[in-house]
Amino acid sequence: MAATSELDRVSMLVLRYMRRPIFVLIIVYAIGITGMALIPGMAADGSPEYMSLFHAFYFFTYTATTTGFGEIPNEFTDQQRLWAILCLYIGVIAWLYAIGSIIHLIQNMHFVQALSEYRFSRVVKKITEPFFIICGFGDTGSLLARGLSDHRFTAVVIDRDPERIKALSLRDYNVNMPGLCGDPSEPKHLVDAGLQHPLCKAVIALTSDEDVNLKIAVVSRFINPKVHVICRTTSSKHKEQLAPLDNVTIINPFEIFAQLLSMAITTPRLHNLNSWLVRAKGIRLGQPLNVPSDNWILCGYGRMGQWLHKYMKLNSINPLIIDPDLEGSTGIDRFIKGYADHGTLSDAKLDTVAGIVAGTDNDSDNLNILMSTQVLNPNAFTIVRQNHHANQLAFDAASVDLILQSSLTTGRRILKYLISPHIQILIDYLREQGEHQTEKISDRLIASIGDQIPHLWSVTLDTKHAKEAIDLLNTGHELVIGDLIRHPSKRCELLSCVPLVIHRAKTPIMLPEENMQVYEDDSILFCGTEQSEQLLASTLNNAYTLHYLLTGKDVSRGFIFRWLEQLARNKKSSAA
């Protein structure tokens, strides 16, 4: 439907811009052919002869291509040659006008946009795997697209900035990532991007304008109520408007980071595990941060600062707040109104604090705060807000303990949710169980994966993803997780993966043991390596491998080998 409408739009623009030059060419050729047919020529015997309309049309056709085949059907008279010269010059002018119109049409922004939308909608229509729609290809959208590509998930991108769409086409993704330059809040563009496509799994609103994100969420909810919507917003007003809507997830990067900081203070091992699962830079599993729990300075009391202050108070931390626009309000009893420069930090006795947060919305100010901290108190625990991904090198060089990069925090949380919503459910479960359970699963992961890059994926035991395993279950055999994760070529060894969650009949089973039985339609969340995912997928769809892992016997696969095996068995029984 969308592709047809875009094709009609392209056709309309072509007809509008080419109508006049086509009419000019038709008129010029009509006059030239008619005149050539009416001007008398001379036959071989000297008698007058008129050229037919077909011969006149043929003459003007091959001369238009600058190809000369001579004068047909007889030599021209001077009157015919004069008329031919006149028509040829007029024809050249008409063709130059037509070619110029074509060039002007190709350069027309409306035509280019309509053509790109038509091609884009056709590409989306041909997608055969589940995909996501990313609205906004800024820092967050770019990081999310890279994460989806690493997990071989397809995404469709919409962004207003043509330079961002050009950058998208230059990325070396593992899967196809079609992009459209357009307003992602327009319903037509969302439909072109596959909002009504049966394989569309989620719409992710990540533009820099939170009002646009709100509109995308509402429009998507009305056009396709079944598709999941993920919306980034830091506005409490927008959160109140979206909260009543079903199938909508709200992402607030500042609230998420405040929760992570609270986790680092109260459950450092769980924070370490969570950071390791999302592949945070420089994180090693089993080496949690030691975050101090008293005497902090919080620089900046904007949206991020307010969330950090809220969660710090929940953990009995009462930080000194420094902000130039701060006025005394409920819940704030320690503050300095002013800029967090070197003098202000010195007056705030930075040299005696345990930790400092550089949380302003300006990267230069945050880097200056870090520089003053290194001079006044180099042993302080440092947390910094990074506003722009382009400044990554500078913040890495500052050797900060924790970095809040809004785009990275948002992208990681959304990627976890898209891979499997049970990842966050597992984190919440471990928070309730305490650090002992977290240490136990961390030790299992270290023993299985070691220093390799962690890889999260989900497997559903159905005919599409595990055909042979389902066939085996239907014959009455029992399957346990330990059998499935055996190495297909070394049965005594296990794959480099650990099952984290089994989702069965809408009920999650946390941290299943290897002897737990699995059933059809179970969805299992694994953490391991990419190679282990490939080997497991091969096992679930190979009857011979499954038989070997369950029994330890390697069955002959070819007809000839089975015949030879049967022959040897018969000889053995005869000898007995």
What's the pLDDT tens digit per position in 101-113? 888 777 777 677 7
8 A C-beta contact, residue 526 and residue 456: yes
Long-range contacts of 115-121 (CB under 8 A, 24+ apart): 115/10, 116/180, 116/181, 117/6, 117/9, 117/180, 117/182, 117/189, 117/192, 118/3, 118/6, 118/7, 118/9, 118/10, 120/178, 120/179, 120/180, 120/192, 120/193, 121/2, 121/3, 121/6, 121/192
Q: What is the C-alpha to C-alpha distance for residues 75 and 81, in angstroms, rounded to an integer?
A: 9
pLDDT digits (tens, 9 = 90+) for 522-549: 999 999 999 999 999 989 998 888 888 8
Rg (CA), the chain: 35
Q: Does residue 261 contact residue 296 with C-beta atoms inside 8 Å? A: no
DSSP tag of 200: E
- Alpha carbon distance 346, 248 (integer Å): 46
3-state helix/strand/coil string of 236-274: HHHHHHHCCCCCEEEECHHHHHHHHHHHHHHCHHHHHHH
Q: Where are the beta strands (DSSP E) in 184-319?
A: 200-205, 228-232, 248-251, 296-299
Lowest-confidence region among 88-97, 268-277, 324-333, 343-352: 324-333
The pLDDT of residue 45 is 75
Handedness of CA 481, 483, 488, 490 (dihedral sign): positive
| Angle ∠(160,251,140) on CA atoms, nearest 5 | 40
Give kind and range of the element (H or E) at residue 519.
none
Q: How confident is the model at residue 2, as a pLDDT?
A: 46
The secondary structure element, H or E, covering residue 558 is none
Question: What pLDDT band is residue 98 in, cutting at 50, 70 and 90?
Answer: confident
What does the pLDDT read at residue 1? 43
The H or E element that residue 150 is part of is: helix 139-150
Q: What is the mean pLDDT of residues 377-381?
A: 92
State pTM to two decimals. Answer: 0.78
Mean pLDDT, rounded, for 194-221:
93
pLDDT in tens, 457-511: 999 999 988 998 998 889 888 899 998 999 988 888 899 999 999 998 878 999 9
Q: Does residue 300 contact residue 327 with C-beta atoms inside 8 Å?
A: no
Q: Are 195 and 1 in contact (CB under 8 A)?
A: no
Domains and CATH numbers, the chain: 2-110 (1.10.287), 127-251 (3.40.50.720), 254-419 (3.40.50.720), 422-551 (3.30.70.1450)
Furthest-apart CA pair in the chain: how many Å? Answer: 119
Q: Note the residue count of the chain.
A: 576
